[in-house]
Amino acid sequence: MEKKSHYSKAKECFIDTEDAKKFIELDQSVYFLEKLKQTVKKPLKMILLYGEPGIGKSILLNRLYLELLKSNSNVHLFLSPILDEDNFTKTLYRKIFSRDENIDFNQFVDLVNKELSFNSTLILLDEAQLYSNSQMEKIRILSDTRKIKFVVSLHKTEQEDLIAKGHFQTRIWETIELKPPSMNELETYIKKKLLGKNLFNLANQFHKKHIKFIYKYTKGNYRETNKFLYHLFEIYEYYEKNKPSKINFSRISKKYLEMSAIKLGYIDV
Amino acid sequence: MYEIEELEKKWKRYRLKKIFKKFTYLIFTASAILIISLILYEFSNTKKMVVANVEIDKKEPKNEEIPKKENVTNVEKKVLKEDKNKTIIQDKEIKKIEEEPKVVVLKPSTDFLTRIENLEKKQQTNKIKENRHIKKEKVEENSKKNKQNETIKKPKIVIEKRDNSNIINELIKKFERTKDPKIAIFLSRIYYKDKHYKKALEWAVIANELDNSNANSWILFAKSSVKLGKKEEAIKALETFLSKHKSYKTKRLLDEIKNGEFK
Ligand SMILES: Nc1ncnc2c1ncn2[C@@H]1O[C@H](COP(=O)(O)OP(=O)(O)OP(=O)(O)O)[C@@H](O)[C@H]1O
Ligand SMILES: [Mg+2]
């Protein structure tokens, strides 16, 4: 069996994932995770989590779900929106009550009021910007029961739209905004990713100037950084296979970094 | 993978572009610096020109400073050659010229200035020549008017050192007032240095008449005598002095004259 090269392993580190187990503890992410954990204990109707795409909302929500599950069984996570209206009610019903009958929204609300206790259930909704207005209205009605609480995650621009919608203003009790990391934080992110796969050597080859180069183009956005490093190690993989003499195994190549930037369209040629 | 080879080609193009950019930037900045410094250089030159003109304009009538010798020397030489046969009276004239209130102030600081000066001097020299001609003709007639004319038109030139005439005239005047033998010795020494041995001898005698105990008057008398071919008189004088006074300097000169070392 052929042994996987370091560069191939490194490349795989940077495939996009929302897997809570791959969550990396960075200053900001740890801070927000704790904050969310505290916030969901409060008797709020709704918590808004927002930030630009690729900033780590989904993975944070996943991680929150994973950690809350340890102590609380009444947490439910919806990673992708339930686009069909009828399906929406049915899915919630199934998740919360673990039953599988057809039920309309009014019946469902009655059931919630009858069977659930105050502030007992937490629902995490990712990609909330994709929900329709009527779905959002239903979420509002459910949160008004004070039995179900929602953590709603969405893109920054939509957050403004949502808050602008009058009927949400009074219900959003807490908002949490995720911001791009600092350069140091991005360095930690990259190195922790590599160290997670025992790629100590590669992690050590990243110096400040390399991080700076990457940061310049990705502005710290995690998804963009993932793409950048994925391409970088793909290039390494290629040269390792075809022209290994060209590779300097002791330091990250500026040339390959530039090639990645070209490939991603950061640099025009 | 074909894709990555394409990418490398793109990268090479990008590198070339970058190098080219840097290069053009370098050339641009270099030429910019060059142009700026040229402009600055030109500017400062123009400034100097203006300043120089202003200075000349301002100071010509004021007569505050005396021009520097170096710049005048050439002209002086010319003037002097032409004026060779002039008498002391002429010397005095020159001196008066010098004392005239109008003196060109020439402050050489740049090539440009020197050129201007030279130009001016040429003009001045010409004027002097003209004036001198006029003067020579009219010396006996109307010297006062002449002098006035001169002052008005006048090239103002200071002649110094080269023939010591100023100092000499100054000293003669002073001597006439004070009858100081030291001045006579000094005059004798100046004439001797200028190789005017006759005059040197005269002034040595004058000094000696006033104070015959000063070895210097005897020495100057002896030296001038030798130069004028009167070696015997020199030896006699020195021996006379040495019979009354002890002077190592005099003794040595006497020996040198005797054995022909001093000619
Ligand atoms: N703390 C973290 N630990 C590990 N990976 C992270 C972390 N934060 C972000 N990432 C990585 O960044 C990438 C983008 O994160 P994520 O998908 O959560 O962004 P998002 O904010 O949900 O974007 P979108 O708004 O487009 O859904 C993911 O691949 C994720 O693995
Ligand atoms: Mg997401």
Q: pLDDT for A4-57, tens place per residue?
A: 789 999 999 999 999 999 999 998 899 999 999 988 888 888 898 988 999 999
Distance CA(B245)–CA(A215), nearest Å, equals: 103
Nearest CA to ligand 1 atom 13: A223
Convert the pLDDT of each residue in A53-78 to its tens digit.
Answer: 999 999 999 999 999 999 887 899 98
Q: Which residues are A51's β-sheet partners?
A: A155
**Alpha-carbon separation of residue A229 from A14, A215, A222, A235 (angstroms):** 6, 11, 10, 10
Show the ligand 1 pocket: residues with CB < 6 angstroms: A 16-18, 22-24, 26, 29, 51, 53-59, 155, 222-223, 226
Q: Read off the pLDDT of each residue in A237-260 and give the average, rounded to a whole number.
A: 92
* Percent of chain A scoring above 70 in pLDDT: 93
How many Å lie between the centroid of ligand 2 and the Cα of residue A128? 10
Closest ligand to the CA of A224: 1
pLDDT value of residue A264: 94
The tokens describing A165, both together, are: 């919608």
Q: Which residues contact A69 (CB under 8 A, 6 or more apart)?
A: A75
pLDDT value of residue B112: 45
- Facing B10 at nearest CB: one of A238, A242, A269: A269
Convert the pLDDT of each residue in A116-138 to its tens digit.
Answer: 888 889 999 998 888 887 888 88
Which residue has better confidence, B92 or A225?
Answer: A225
Convert the pLDDT of each residue in A140-153 to its tens digit.
Answer: 889 888 899 999 99
pLDDT value of residue A158: 60
Q: Which residues are A121's β-sheet partners?
A: A148
Say if residue A93's pLDDT is above 80: yes
Cβ distance A262 to B14 less than 8 Å, yes or no, reads yes
Strand A148-155 relative to strand A121-125, pairing? parallel
Q: Read off the pLDDT of each residue in A102-111 and give the average, rounded to a whole number.
A: 89
Name the amino acid, one letter, at B195. Answer: K
Distance CA(A5)–CA(A8), nearest Å, equals: 5
Q: What is the pTM of this model?
A: 0.59
Distance CA(A262)–CA(A258), nearest Å, equals: 6
| Of residues B263, B243, B244, the one with CA closest to residue B253 | B263
Would you list the domain boundaries of chain A?
A: 6-17+182-263, 27-177
The tokens describing A140, both together, are: 């509002």
Closest ligand to the CA of A223: 1
Cβ distance B11 to A235 less than 8 Å, yes or no, reads no
Q: Does B17 touch chain A (CB under 8 A)?
A: yes
Domain A27-177 has CATH 3.40.50.300: yes
pLDDT value of residue B124: 53
Instruction: Collect all residues of chain A within an 8 Å Cβ-Cβ radius of residue B14.
Output: 258, 262, 267, 269
A241–chain B nearest CA distance, Å: 10
Name the amino acid, one letter, at A152. Answer: V
Name the amino acid, one letter, at A18. Answer: E
Nearest CA to ligand 1 atom 24: A53
Contact between residue A220 and residue A182 where contact means Cβ atoms under 8 Å apart: yes
* Per-residue pLDDT band at A212 (split at 50, 70, 90): very high
Say if residue A224's pLDDT is above 90: yes
Instruction: Please state, as a whole number, how many other Cβ atoms lie within 10 Å of the Cβ of residue B215.
Output: 20
| Of residues B244, B263, B262, B240, the one with CA closest to residue B253 | B262
pLDDT along chain B (263 residues), means of 10: 87 93 94 93 76 55 45 46 47 47 45 47 50 48 46 45 66 84 87 90 90 89 91 89 86 90 86
Strands of the sheet with A46-51, listed across from one edge: A75-78, A121-125, A148-155, A46-51, A172-177
Which of the listed residues A14, A15, A59 should we mutate to test ligand 1's pocket, taking the one with most ligand atoms within 8 A of CB?
A59
How many Å lie between the centroid of ligand 1 and the Cα of residue B208? 117
Say if residue A231's pLDDT is above 70: yes
**Alpha-carbon separation of residue B236 from B4, B118, B218, B246 (angstroms):** 115, 52, 10, 16
| Of residues A259, A247, A260, the one with CA closest to residue A14 | A260
pLDDT value of residue B107: 44
Q: Does A83 touch chain B (CB under 8 A)?
A: no
Long-range pairs, A71-78, Cβ under 8 A, ≥24? A72/A122, A74/A120, A74/A121, A74/A122, A75/A121, A75/A122, A75/A123, A75/A124, A76/A121, A76/A122, A76/A123, A76/A124, A77/A123, A77/A124, A77/A126, A78/A123, A78/A124, A78/A125, A78/A126
**Alpha-carbon separation of residue A53 from A8, A114, A193, A201, A261 (angstroms):** 26, 39, 20, 31, 20
Mutate to test the interface with A, among B8, B12, B18, B21 (most CBs of A within 10 A): B8
Distance CA(A27)–CA(A18), nearest Å, equals: 18
Which atom of ligand 1 sits closest to the CA of residue A62?
18
Cβ distance A235 to B14 less than 8 Å, yes or no, reads no
Q: Does B6 touch chain A (CB under 8 A)?
A: no
What is the helix (H) or strand (E) element at residue B195, kind and residue range? none
What is the helix (H) or strand (E) element at residue A128, kind and residue range? none
